[in-house]
Structure 1
Amino acid sequence: MTYTRNTMTAALAVFAMTTFSMAGASATALTPLPKETHINHSLMAGVVADKIRKACPGISARMFVVLHKMNGLKSYAVRKGYEEVKVRAFLKDPVEKARVKAMAAEYLTSHGAVVGNAESYCTLGREEIAKKSLIGQMLRAR
């Protein structure tokens, strides 16, 4: 299956927005969203996967896996009790978006990806796929 560059970007946006669309009543002592490790790690992993598949012509997105991960994260948020309105505000906040993108950029750099060097992204992508990491699960080597 071939996807355009914008398909995964759009899927990740849907991932982020619908992940929490069913979030229920708030719990009394929830971790603030910017500090909620699982949610932030998952969002960062999605951004990293998207950057890898955009930079490496030999790697593409596994869209069904992305959708499955989206549903799993949505279930996680519901179980935790995050309110939809707070999550939407978190996801739309430009400061938070920039923070997650910065986390992804740091991850990419610290794992050998070099802007402008497609092979460095391909190498990282293949490593993530081989490790079956969250990032690697969203990618497929062609």
Structure 2
Amino acid sequence: MKLAPLSAPLSLVALLAALPAHALEPINTEPHINNVLLQGFIGDAIADNCPALEPRRMRALGELNKLRAYAQEKGYSVSEIRAFVTSDTEKARGKAQAADWLRAKGAEPGKTEEYCRIGREEIAKNSLIGYLLRDTE
């Protein structure tokens, strides 16, 4: 019995539909996304605690736009990304991780000079944290 010409493409479609979809890891565990956001949270904490260092808001916005594009290329939806970056729970987690990182470097609330020292070190290293800060002195 001869198969109709459309049976091969339909068989291929059925086979592909039966394959498991590539599952993305939860966005809040994706390493690159979380690393970039953590550096932003660290920069914010430094700027909040060191009066001589200010955030570079346009640079931060540019980095967020690059990060959004990266997340979309990985397959995360716009609504997934928006929900993640606006989540109070995720913001609290990021701020806590930033505080832990800063504490390990010697900065704690009330130690303005330590926040300034760390911020200036990051600026000198040309890290993403430093890139997001401006020294006004």
- State the match for 2:25 in structure 1: 31
2:97 to 99, 103, 121: 103
- State the match for 1:126 in structure 2: 120
1:73 to 67, 83, 88: 67
- State the match for 2:84 in structure 1: 90
Q: Secondary structure at the match of 2:54?
A: strand
Note the alpha carbon deviations across 1:87-141, whole angstroms, 9 max, x for none. 2332343332222111111111111112101101000000111111111110011
Give me the identity figure in percent: 47
Q: Calculate the TM-score normalised by the size of structure 1.
A: 0.74
Structure 2: gaps of 5 or more residues? 1-20
How far apart in 1 are the matches of 2:79 and 2:68?
14
Change (3 A) 1:72 1:55: same
Change (3 A) 1:94 1:111: same
Whether 2:58 is the aligned partner of 1:64: answer: yes
- State the match for 1:23 in structure 2: none
Whether 2:106 is the aligned partner of 1:117: answer: no
Q: Secondary structure at the match of 2:24?
A: coil
Q: Calculate the TM-score normalised by the size of structure 2.
A: 0.77
How far apart in 1 are the matches of 2:68 and 2:91?
18
* Per-residue deviation, 1:65: 1.3
Amino acid at match of 1:118: T
Amino acid at match of 2:22: T
* Per-residue deviation, 1:85: 2.1
Cα RMSD for the two superposed structures: 1.6
How far apart in 2 are the matches of 1:89 and 1:57?
32
* Bigger CA radius of gyration: 2
Structure 1: gaps of 5 or more residues? 1-26
Change (3 A) 1:54 1:133: same
How far apart in 1 are the matches of 2:81 and 2:134?
30
Amino acid at match of 2:25: T
* Per-residue deviation, 1:48: 1.0
In the TM superposition, structure 1's runs of 4+ consecutive aligned residues that sit over 6 Å from their partners are none
